[in-house]
Homo-oligomer: A and B are copies of this chain.
């Protein structure tokens, strides 16, 4: 994928140094100099030798020096190579595993589950956790209810996928009586229970067009109202759950107000984040955007570690952690990976034994 991820041009030794340098930088947060690296790297080499190697690494764009006489810092490319080929992940601590299992297994509704997942991601990582709500191509109709409000306004309560409740207010073209509405709801509930919502919409339109005069007024009414009720659902749907943004204020690399402001602004607008998360949904497994790789200015100094989660082996959503580029990938990656598996499992469990 990335152009340097094949280590052909680099000696084993150079890669080893890169690995040690990145690890050291991640843990200390200070540019790493040749002396420190010589000490750390184990091999008995003098700083001078290290300097030569570091010059090579710099030439390839894997590391960079903030200024002439500071040590080196990994670039996004450096992190990329590190993550793709050098990283040794650390297994999750057993108490973390236990907490994740426990907290994710005791949630009643999918919404609560995802909320909890986000919270856990941010608490364990001390960064920000993000979870997209599962997208669902097929939304099944379960139940509908119409309650008249003032004049021609009608409160619609729609239950989909067994247990998801949506409600909205529609403006009907004419006044309907209580009985009309009741009849319409009954008709819809009887006729369409369990069917796919999109199918219902299209067949409603069709039925209405084709057989208008052969149908009873009640059914025509039902169809008309339902059409209004079912159109542009989900436009109000929260696109993702984000938790622990405040944790990001603790990282010195994000400590400038300007930077932080634009980051939080991006969180609020949601749009860019959604786009980014959408790009992850195609990938199975863990996917990472490092710094500028995301393409969004606000995330320049941030990395995003995501994993998609599945229901019935179908990818339906993405979750992950947002933090500074300098994060402990070796801990965050397994955390995100494992959480995604648990969330998938929990959702599966619910959708497989609904009755």
Which of A's residues lie within 8 Å of B, judged by CB? 108-109, 142-143, 145, 147, 149-150, 153, 155, 157, 159, 162-163, 165, 167, 169, 246, 249-250, 255, 257, 260-261, 264-265, 268, 353-355
Contact = CB atoms under 8 A, between A and B. Distances in A.
A153 B268 CA distance: 36
When all copies of this chain in the complex are counted, the total is 2
Given A150-B354, A257-B249, A261-B250, A165 B155 contact: yes
Contacts of A261: 246, 249-250
A245 B225 CA distance: 40
Contacts of A162: 149
Q: Name the residue in A109, A153, A155, A255 with the highest tally of chain B Cβ atoms < 10 Å from its Cβ.
A: A155
A163 B169 contact: yes
A220 B171 CA distance: 38
A109 B169 contact: yes
Contacts of A257: 249-250, 255
Nearest to A255: B257
B143 A145 contact: yes
Contact of A353 (B142, B150, B268, B353): B150
23 contacts: A108-B169, A109-B169, A142-B147, A143-B145, A143-B147, A149-B163, A149-B355, A150-B354, A155-B159, A155-B165, A157-B157, A157-B159, A157-B165, A165-B167, A246-B261, A246-B265, A246-B268, A249-B257, A249-B260, A249-B261, A250-B257, A250-B261, A255-B257
Which of A143, A165, A169, A353 neighbours the largest number of chain B CB atoms within 10 Å of its CB? A165
A227 B253 CA distance: 53
B169 A147 contact: no
A241 to B, nearest CB: 14
Contacts of A153: 108
B142 A159 contact: no
A109 B268 CA distance: 23
Nearest to A236: B112
A257 B260 CA distance: 10
A250 B155 CA distance: 41
Contacts of A157: 145, 157, 159, 165
A159 B147 contact: yes
A290 B268 CA distance: 28
A257 B254 CA distance: 10
Which of A142, A145, A167 has the most chain B CB atoms inside 10 A of its CB? Answer: A167
Contacts of A155: 159, 163, 165
A192 to B, nearest CB: 15
Nearest to A246: B264
Contacts of A246: 261, 264-265, 268
A121 B18 CA distance: 52
Contacts of A108: 153, 169
Given A145-B145, A149-B162, A246-B268, 14 more contacts: A142-B147, A143-B147, A147-B159, A147-B163, A149-B354, A149-B355, A155-B159, A157-B157, A157-B159, A165-B165, A246-B264, A246-B265, A249-B257, A249-B260
Contacts of A354: 149-150
Contacts of A150: 353-355
Contacts of A249: 257, 260-261, 264
Contacts of A159: 147, 155, 157
